[in-house]
Amino acid sequence: MTTSRPPEPAMIWALETAGLPPETVTMAMPGGQGGHVWLLQGPDPAAAAVLKLAAPASKGGDERLIHREAVILRALAQLAMPVPEVLAADASGARAGTPALLMKRAPGSLLSGQDAVRHAIPAMAQALILCQRRTHHLVAGRRWVPWQPASGFRVPTWSTREALWNRAIRVVQGFQAPRCDAFIHRAPHPANMLFEDGAVSAVLDWPHAGRGPAGFDGARMAMSLCCLLGMDAATTFRSAFEAELGQRQDPLLEVYAACEFLPDPALEATAGAIGIELSRNQARGRLENFLADAMRRMTSRRLS
């Protein structure tokens, strides 16, 4: 768990860089991909900053992600994207003691509770399509590949639906990989979006962004909503996403999204950040329901 105050070298660097006083209050925030995050709040609320430190490699982190996210955020800022403004980056950790990213606090707040998340589903779809349209020609970040090679997908040990997973694994191993024809966030979910007046005011956590399949962000968001809330939330999101996109979503991308969540959908931290109670068994069952729905649509749309 992230402590309420960053390590002292990082704190000193952040305060000096942001021009914040020593009495600045710090508060731990939900971490993004491979990092620990703090809000730095001084006397002037408008000058608040967010400090993100890389998780050490010894604890499953990737210190290169800080540099990648800084580069991507600066590129996105040129496209009027709803993303945090970079104040400074210490990619090597020479001053902060560990790779560090300092950002201006983005407007808005996280959603809280199932009802709030369900109500915001159309806004999430609109935000993802807006991001995709504005970044259509952007070349930055990492090119999309599954988190693990498709050849390494295995039926999860906790599953009682072995036949379902075996069919899905054969699909992703047998079909040609999707074209990387858009710039994508790569791993969107409700806990990396801030909201203000019912709209998405900022999309957070961009270290894995890059060129990828145009519908993959929609597939990942639908899967996350299914695991957090149930299949009805995924269906509602998909309908909104397809309406904004103007075309049907390819279920193959949803099969990929489900398979690369193996061996286990660890979403407890994401759920906790937005005030949703979620057990591991709930997430597992919902992930399988999501996969079964995608496979049904694969059968009717691609394999007939």
Q: Which of residues 56, 74, 104 is at a domain's end?
A: 104
pTM score of the predicted model: 0.93
Tell which of 104, 130, 146 closes a domain.
104
CA 133 to chain centre: 18
120 and 99 belong to one structural domain: no
Helices of type H across 1-155: 8-18, 64-77, 114-119, 121-134
Q: 2 in a domain, yes or no?
A: no
Q: What is the pLDDT of residue 247?
A: 86
Q: How far is CA 180 from the centre of its chain?
A: 18
Do both 250 and 182 map to the same domain? yes
User: Domain check: are 274 and 213 in the same one?
Assistant: yes
The tokens for 190 are 């409700």
Q: 135 and 93 in contact (C-beta within 8 Å)?
A: no
Question: Is the separation of the CB atoms in 222 and 290 below 8 Å?
Answer: yes
CATH code where residue 51 lies: 3.30.200.20
Separation in Å, CA 58 to CA 61, 62, 113, 229: 7, 9, 34, 33
Regions in the chain scoring below 50 on pLDDT? 1, 301, 303-304
Structure tokens at 69: 């996210």
243, part of any domain: yes
pLDDT at 303: 44
> Could you list the residue range(s) of the whole structural domain that residue 287 is in?
114-301
Asked, for residue 205, whether it belongs to a domain, the answer is: yes
Residue 245 has a pLDDT of 86
Residues 65, 139, single domain; the answer is no
Q: How many domains does the chain have?
A: 2
